[in-house]
Amino acid sequence: METQPLIDEYPQIKDLMAAKPLVWQNPDYGAPAHLPLGRADIFDAVARWQRFAPYLAKVFPETRATHGVIESPLVRIPKMQDAWAELNHQSLAGQLFLKADSELPVSGSIKSRGGIYEVLKFAEQVALAHTDLTYMDDYAVLATPHYHRLFSRYRVIVASTGNLALSVGIAAASFGFQTTVYMSHDARDWKKDRLRANGVTVKEFKTDFSSVIPMARQAAAQDSHCHFIDDEGSTDLFLGYAVAAVRLQHQFKRQGIRVDAEHPVVVYLPAGVGGSPSGVAFGLKMIMGANVHPVFCEPTHVPSVTLGMMTKLNNKICVQDIGLDGLTAADGLAVSRPSRIAGKLMRTLLLAGVTFNDDDLFAYVSALLDTEQLMVEPSAAAGFTALRPLTTAFPQFAGRTVTHVVWATGGEMMPPEERRRDYQRGAQLLAREGW
């Protein structure tokens, strides 16, 4: 692709090409828009989650205490806020919270929202079409051998760098679906092992996610009994993530967090392909309106959503087109080409995109564990890297009445040795002069 015309029109492309951390301010943020989805679609997804709650409580013991509701805590982290201020040599006014999707039941990441939701919807469609199940029934019945035999005649295929595979694989296997995961070179071995332990077939490829997903899509198209979960363009994944906003609104109310013009909320979302942060951001804007401001956080070597939105080319451009290698230690964010949905739906809903260097992730992983005894995977710490550049670029969000929410997207299922390795890397960085 010829990059000079892009540079002429969008000068920040030069910084993207040089892998420099930057803040891209969306010029279309807040403009009028006609969106193809709305509140009714979110509430339809909320209702489906409610119908499946008895099934989830029966099949996944970790959800019984919440009666089958899959949700994560919203945690105020004042000690981390103090540590952040010390590391950045400036205070952070307002309140800092962690939305701990790293602790979501079943698969321990934000993908528990979208991935599990799409599997639930597919299971419901199959059951309604081939049995006497009604919407008013107790869906725990779907865990019986009768339904398991039905579901075993169907297949589910997904391509993933890791976390989506875990959520889809674990959920689909619980129903009895024949489940196959196509995984790129970025995927961690422990995630593959966990999937295989749940009876999921894992196909590994020594290439990146954007190259793997067409192979998975093609394989699914050859089987009429196969459902393909498309991380690049699934509306069902998107709406599963959007339900988070309904739950977060309630958590804000319970914790006395006001959301209005005098008390804005900035939400920092790690972005890979862009599906999960876009779904959450869409939900936030639909449910809580103009005073919640979503920000996407991406590695400097894989700023796929920022690149797509900056150029308005969306999924028609990838990071390799501007000379980047697409490599990052944040495996969940290692996606070179953005979602077909992300750029289009975020055009007027995304405040900004912020890019960061990988080392910063590990520093914040260690600081979070030291201060709050909370462990997240590296990509889940991305929001911390965006606080300083965002509040510098947007001084109106640097005040004491602002609530900052860092969305921690994963980490609960990390093996102890992975946790130790990530923590030690961060601790070494923090010990260096200059941090």
| Domains, the chain, ordered by start | 4-37+66-107+238-431 (3.40.50.1100), 108-235 (3.40.50.1100)
Question: What's the pLDDT score for residue 264?
Answer: 98
> In the predicted model, is pLDDT for residue 392 greater than 90?
yes
- 181 pairs with which residues across the strands? 158, 202
Mean pLDDT of 309-313: 97
Question: What's the pLDDT score for residue 434?
Answer: 64
> In the predicted model, is pLDDT for residue 250 greater than 70?
yes
Distance CA 10, CA 32 (A): 23
For the record, the structure tokens of 345 come out as 């739906």
Distance CA 285, CA 290 (A): 6
| Cα distances (Å, whole numbers) of residue 69 to 75, 104, 191, 243 | 18, 10, 24, 12
* CA count, 13 A, side-chain hemisphere, 174: 24
Find how far residue 294's CA is from the centre of its chain.
13
> In the predicted model, is pLDDT for residue 211 greater than 90?
no
Question: What's the pLDDT score for residue 435?
Answer: 64
Per the listing, tokens 């619980």 go with 174
Please tell me the pTM assigned to this model. 0.96
With contact defined as beta carbons under 8 Å apart, do 101 and 409 qualify?
Answer: yes
Mean pLDDT of 366-375: 98
For the record, the structure tokens of 48 come out as 């489906």
